[in-house]
Structure 1
Amino acid sequence: MKEFKKLLKFMEGYKIIYLFGMISIIISQIITTVTPLLIRTTIDSIIGEEPITSSIIQSGVNLLGGKEYLKNNLWIIGLTLILVALLRGIFLYLKNTLSSKSAENTTKNIRDNLYDHIQRLPYEYHVKSETGELIQKCTSDVETIKRFLAIQLVEVAGSISMLIFISYVMFNLNVKMALISMVILPITFTFSVVFFNRVKKDFEASDEAEARLSTTLQENLTGVRVVKAFSRQKFEVDKFDEKNREYRDLTYKLIKNLSTYWSFSDFLSMSQVGLVITMGSYWTVKGDISLGTLVAFTSYINMLIWPIRQMGRTLTDMGKAFVSVKRIEEIFNEPIEILEENHKKPNIKGSITFENVYFEYEQNKPVLKDVSFKVKPGQTIALIGPTGSGKSSLVHLLPRLYDYNKGSIKIDNIELKNIDKKWIRRNVGLVLQEPFLYAKTIKENIRLSDPTMIDNKVFEASKIASIHEDIISFEKGYETFVGERGVSLSGGQKQRMAIARTIINQCPIVIFDDSLSAVDTETDISIRTALRKRKNKSTTIIISHRISTVAEADLILVLDKGRIIQRGNHNSLIKEEGLYKRVYEIQNSLDDSDKDLRLNA
């Protein structure tokens, strides 16, 4: 079974420990078979007069003092039974300790490998994947595997060894009684296997429903401020209720199937016990078997029933574990991003050349078409255009979050695809439209790329981003804890902190992906002025819908439907009929209207 092979692969490094756990339970099961034999010998041969036919048992009786001595000192038998139980308990303790240790370390391996693999997956995967489902695979599914390894899989070895040892002993005691004791077992086993194949799909459906529920919850908690702002509580409650109901119904269906199994397996198991007691009592009265043999078989049948009954639970948990292995394997099967560490690592100055670049997310649906332009080191280039025109897609090509399909992009006359991905990302700073801040202090967020960075650099970057004055106004200043996703800060403050976090690295190329839109015009001007004045000025790319933000750029590109439809500086573009002039005139008239309103207020 391929899922089992994958499970063994996860156990790499801890198979030996787990094997010793299995050996421990096998030894404990061997010891378990001794107790009924000891009771039978006591009833039939110590108290009764039947001869001892087994040389091993006879040696044990002689070791304890002989038949007559034991008959007069039955407390020795009782003490022996206690010692046997103690010895069995020691091996069960070893089984639990070793299997749990192996299971815990195996699941740690899985979590570490999962996290490492997720970190290495390409940007495109994370854009498309659902966070809630990923979290569930890394937590709930891993826990399911751990429970199976720690409890059920090791019990399989115990159950099989129990069946083998008890069957051997029973057939040696009495063939007729042994056959009677096992007549219903094949039916129970067949029913368990059929049930396993059926319930596996139900577990998968229940797990997927739980993942959808987790995703809904995660989205709601992440966007709780939006929910509150638009008074969408009822909609979100209804959506959660729908997913919760789906999860409940699928889980209830699973529980009904489990109830059917346990009820029918209980009926089969009790029928087996009843048959053994009935036939055993009849043959004991007839004198075909001894009373001690009947007692031994009564004990053994109860020992046999337990692993058979547990087989359903074991197979069920096996089904759940294999479903979880399959779901986790889906992540591991995703190809990781090749970082091409053997590629070039040039000293980047900031020259950028696009030549006839085409790019598409889906085949035959290009979002960038025949894009060409040049930028000299230290220049500022601005991109403007309607939503969906390809602005963000264009700048995402520079840090190689995506690779272009046709054409050429060169950084300092070196083909971008020939530059090491890690290296280019260290040299291209990207400030996104939606900044993400960690639940850390302000200082820790700003110097995220290098926690050892001196405070003066943090302060300098904050001043360029026009956030320094805001920070020192807080009670704890740079040691202020910003909360999850920066919830304690305003949108503009979060945006400026993200800008400071990017420019502190002094990257030769800095991209502002509509990230100045969350700040007011005055702060926007202040940030751009500070960027122009700083030493070792970077090549700067600004995406914005605000004409005042892009007006001072050395080169402005106007995009529409993936093509550059206009290019030039501000003065030349406002004289040219086209999209840029129309946007300029609209925004200019709105600014004039705002001035009139303020004057008349």
Structure 2
Amino acid sequence: MSDQTRTEVETTENAPDDTGSSNTPAKSNERPDYAKNVQRGPGGGQVHEKAMNFWPSLKRLLGHLAPERIRLVLVILLAIAGIVASVVGPKILGRGTDILFAGILGKQIGGRFPAGTTKEQVIEALRAAGQGKIADLIAGMKDFVPGQGIDFTHLAQILGLAVGLFALSSVLLAIQGRILNVVVQRSIYRLRGDVESKINRLPLSYFDKQTRGELLSRVTNDIDNISQSLQQTLSQLLTSLLTVIGVLFMMFWISPLLSVIALITIPVAIGVTTIIGKQAQKRFVQMWKSTGEVNSHVEEAYTGHALVKVFGRRREVEEVFNEKNGELYKAGFGAQFISGMMMPIMMFVGNLNYVIIAVVGGLRVANGQISLGDVQAFIQYSRQFTQPLTQLASMANLLQSGVASAERVFEVLDETEQTKESDGELGPTRGRIAFENVDFSYSPDKPLIEDLSLVAEPGQTVAIVGPTGAGKTTLVNLIMRFYELDGGRITLDGTDVSSVPRADLRSKIGMVLQDTWLFHGTIRDNIGYGRPDATDEEIIAAAEATYVDRFVHSLPDGYDTVIDEEGSNVSAGEKQLLTIARAFLADPALLILDEATSSVDTRTELLVQQAMARLRSDRTSFVIAHRLSTIRDADVILVMEHGSIVEQGNHETLLEARGAYYELYNSQFNEAPEELDDAAQETPAIPGAVPAG
């Protein structure tokens, strides 16, 4: 039987018992001192003074694309072919301009000379007439024929070839973009799977120091931002870089001098990108950190909205939200504003470069050192050259944002995992649990359980009582291997629990927590969670045995009633009965009940105790209880204080011993009124209160 069929959720929903061993270990002396030497943010998450370097983070992010290397090679080949077709186009269009210009001059100037005059004769005549500039211009034309007009046939061929190349380029780049989309989405799919798998391998102590909103923000918002950043930048980065290379080649082919002038923009672009990028990166890291804090606060305030209203703390909650929202606004505005400065600066540099090329190119055309078509092509290339540089600059903000989110996700992936699973096997169990000299602490400098030994025989009901912070829930959490021991060992039927897979161990254990957990689904599904292969008859039988059937029939849809995510359409007691029914259906070999009836009324509690008595029969049970009246029939009662067992025995024996159990028992039934009277006398009067009587 699987891990899920026999246990409640083992990581994020452990009851915040007196031991502090749950999500918020903030009880008594057991609290793990995670905050020591660690700077913490308002959202509860750890704040790193410095983010990882941009380039190592980017390299690691791109490493997640490695499984798609075949598609990536195809993407690169398609991009090269598409860019080559696109880059050659302006040169061909320049050839068409030369044909058009040569035809116009040939008709106008050549018409002044007799038929059969050659190009050289026209040039000599023009020089002799003092028209040296025009002679130089004609000398640079390959297609000038005196007296002949525009060769429209040749021009149509040139234009057709250019249109075909541009169309081919568009098709190839569209296919390249489609394949790249597959690469990115498949990579993000794997990244989400890696994060989900990592979370399942993290120890419970990791969730003790992380707020749910912060963790959810990393798993959802940050991964979505990575996906968006890669999707929008990878294709443009590749095509822009290839365009720059191709355009540079064509520019040097046409005119080395003009190419050198155009290259002036490169150091300017690199300098601008570097300076602005460094400033933007820090703000993007802060922006996504602030996003996680806002999400954490909103999740916490929404989950506890009833308490917020009861205690009249709405204004304080709004103030905290406004503060965190303001920090997010400042970080987001700063990041977007600074990174947004790149594009206008680069456009200015590109336009300045365009003006210089147009002036120098015009002078060289007039001197016959370059054709008009080549200047036209070069101007197009200069625009194509500055455009990808501008695109690279404008994409820097997206890339910076994506890498900042990647850093936050990598922090989760780099967390220390729980110890590796063992290869041992756990055979049929009778339920004998033995603690042998067990040591455990949440923090090394604050010992909790030291040299603890106890034995629970098969079929026994072991009750664990003690004051808040004594270590009761910690004891059962160690059986479940929610935490690993510092020393000693725990055995189940003689087998060390650390030598068998956790899923195998937990499949033998059923657990009902004080903090009930129900998922969004029907009542039938929530009960059936204890054993997925159970029939409807078995589910209903478990519900009847645990008195769930009584209130289910009062609901509009009966067992098909859908419980919302907060379980707000059933009472706290009804939710607890549902979790007991789930454990009843699972029929585990070892049963753990952690304040399992704390939310039910007294009459229902008596009925549930009868059901649990049947559930506990022929199996070992650990029962944690604050109301000592509920554990009178336990075979063994363990009294814990400060992580140690100070007394053990049955109810009658412990009362006769007049020790710690005797004091606890009498404090609940005999001394409570006297203590309350004494406390009332010692308590300072509340200002404005009306005296009783």
The alignment's TM-score, normalised by the length of structure 1, stands at 0.90
Deviations 1:91-148 (A, max 9, x none): 1211221111111111111112221221222222223322222222222222232233
Q: 1:223 & 1:339 partners in 2: Cα distance?
A: 36
Whichever residue aligns with residue 316 of structure 1, its letter is N
Question: Does the CA contact (< 8 Å) of 1:443 and 1:458 recur in 2?
Answer: yes
Query: Equivalent of 1:557, from 627, 630, 638?
Result: 638
Is 2:623 the counterpart of 1:542? yes
Give the match's secondary structure for 1:574: helix
Aligned to 1:9: 63
User: Against the structure 1 CA distance between its residues 504 and 35, is the aligned structure 2 distance closer, same or farther, given a 3 Å change threshold?
Assistant: same
Matched, 1:373 2:454: yes
Is the contact made by 1:26 and 1:157 (CA closer than 8 Å) also made in structure 2?
no
Matched, 1:241 2:325: no
> Which has the larger helix fraction?
1
Aligned amino acid, residue 36 of structure 1: P
Question: Deviation digits for residues 214-242 of structure 1, max 9, x if unmatched?
Answer: 11122222222332333332222222111
In the alignment, residue 77 of structure 2 is paired with which amino acid?
A: I
* Alignment gaps of 5+ in structure 2: 1-54, 107-118, 120-141, 675-693
For residue 253 of structure 2, what is the aligned residue in structure 1?
172
Aligned match of 2:18: none
| 3-state SS, counterpart of residue 436 of structure 1 | coil
2:520/2:563 contact within 8 Å kept: yes
In the alignment, is the contact (CA less than 8 A) between 2:481 and 2:502 conserved in 1? Answer: yes
CA distance in 2, matches of 1:467, 1:498: 10
Question: What is the CA-CA distance between 1:154 and the residue it aligns to?
Answer: 2.7
Q: In structure 2, which of residues 505, 512, 530 is the aligned counterpart of residue 424 of structure 1?
A: 505
Per the alignment, residue 657 of structure 2 pairs with: 576
What residue in structure 1 maps to residue 94 of structure 2? 40
Aligned to 1:103: 184
Whether the 8 Å contact between 2:277 and 2:339 is mirrored in structure 1 is no
The one-character-per-residue Cα deviations of 1:332-359 (angstroms, maximum 9, x if unpaired) are 2224334535113121111122233221
Partner of 1:193: 274
User: Matched residue of 2:534: which SS?
Assistant: coil
CA contact (8 A) 1:22 1:154 kept: no
CA distance in 2, matches of 1:68, 1:77: 17
Superposed displacement of residue 448, structure 1: 0.9
Amino acid at match of 1:357: V
Shift of 1:246: 0.7
Aligned residues of 2:99 and 2:151 also touching (Cα < 8 A): no
Cα deviation digits, residues 184-238 of structure 1 (max 9, x gap): 2222123213332332222111111111111112222222233233333222222
> After superposition, where does 1:334-353 map in structure 2 within 5 Å?
334-338=415-419, 340-353=421-434
Unpaired stretches in structure 1, ≥5 consecutive residues: 52-60, 594-601
In structure 1, distance between residues paired with 2:183 and 2:151: 44
Aligned residue number for residue 57 of structure 1: none
3-state DSSP of counterpart to 2:447: strand
Which amino acid in 2 is paired with 1:480? T
CA separation of 1:370 and 1:463: change in aligned 2, threshold 3 A: farther
CA offsets per residue over residues 426-456 of structure 1, 9 Å max, x none? 1121111111100000110111143221123
For residue 358 of structure 1, what is the aligned residue in structure 2?
439
Match of 2:10 in 1: none
Residue 531 of structure 1 deviates from its aligned partner by 2.6
Q: What is the deviation of 1:585? A: 2.2
For 1:433 and 1:534, the matched residues in 2 are separated by: 17
Conserved 8 A contact 1:398-1:428? no
Q: Which moved more, 1:241-250 or 1:409-418?
A: 409-418
Are 1:93 and 2:147 counterparts?
no
Provide the residue aligned with 1:412 in structure 2. Answer: 493
Task: Tell me: CA distance 1:138–1:233, structure 2 relative to 1, closer, same or farther (3 Å).
Answer: same
- In structure 1, what is the equivalent of residue 401 of structure 2? 320
TM-score (norm 2): 0.79
Aligned length: 580
Identical aligned residues as a percent: 26
Whole-angstrom CA distance in 2 between matches of 1:329 and 1:299: 43
Q: Are 2:364 and 1:283 aligned?
A: yes
For 2:237, the equivalent position in structure 1 comes to: 156
What's 2:535 paired with? 454
The aligned amino acid for 2:243 is M
In structure 1, the partner of 2:126 is: none
* Deviation for aligned residue 1:419: 3.3
1:381-420 aligned at under 5 Å gives the runs: 381-420=462-501
Deviation at 1:373, TM superposition (A): 2.3
- Cα distance change, pair 562–300 in 1 and its aligned pair in 2 (3 A): same
- Tell me how far 1:46 sits from its aligned partner: 5.0
Q: Could you tell which deviates more after superposition, 209-218 or 581-590?
A: 581-590
Letter in 1 for 2:418: E
Cα separation, partners in 2 of 1:353 and 1:341, compared to 1, 3 Å: closer
CA deviation after TM superposition for structure 1 residue 473, in Å: 2.2
Rounded to whole Å, the distance in 1 between the matches of 2:264 and 2:160 is 35
- Cα shift readout 1:232-263 (whole Å, capped 9, x = no counterpart): 32222222111111110111111231243333
TM-superposition CA deviations, 1:364-394 (whole Å, max 9, x none): 3122233222222111111111111111101
Cα deviation for residue 90 of structure 1 reads: 0.6
For 1:263-302, list aligned pairs within 5 A. 263-302=344-383
Cα deviation 1:271-314 (Å, max 9, x = unaligned): 11121122223333444333222211221111111111112133
The worse-fitting range, judged by mean Cα deviation, of 468-477 and 440-449 is 468-477
Aligned partners of 1:464 and 1:531 also within 8 Å: no
Structure 1 distance, partners of 2:62, 2:440, is 42
Runs of 4+ in 1 over 6 A off after TM superposition: 590-593
Q: CA deviation at 1:69?
A: 8.5
Match of 1:30 in 2: 84
Closer, same or farther in 2 for the Cα pair 1:472/1:230, shift >3 Å? same
Q: Is the 8 A contact 1:503 1:510 kept in 2?
A: no
Given that 1:367 and 1:393 are in contact with CA atoms closer than 8 Å, whether structure 2 keeps it comes out as: no
Between the aligned partners of 1:478 and 1:421, the Cα distance in structure 2 is 32
Equivalent residue letter for 1:16: I
Distance 1:408 1:91, change over 3 A: closer
Letter in 1 for 2:447: P
For residue 212 of structure 1, what is the aligned residue in structure 2? 293
Amino acid at match of 1:548: S
Native 8 Å contact 2:528 2:582 kept in 1:
yes
Where does residue 332 of structure 2 map in the other structure?
Answer: 251
Give the match for residue 550 of structure 2. 469
Could you tell me which residue of structure 1 aligns to residue 680 of structure 2? none
Distance in 1 between residues matched to 2:524 and 2:454, nearest whole Å: 38
1:267 maps to amino acid: F
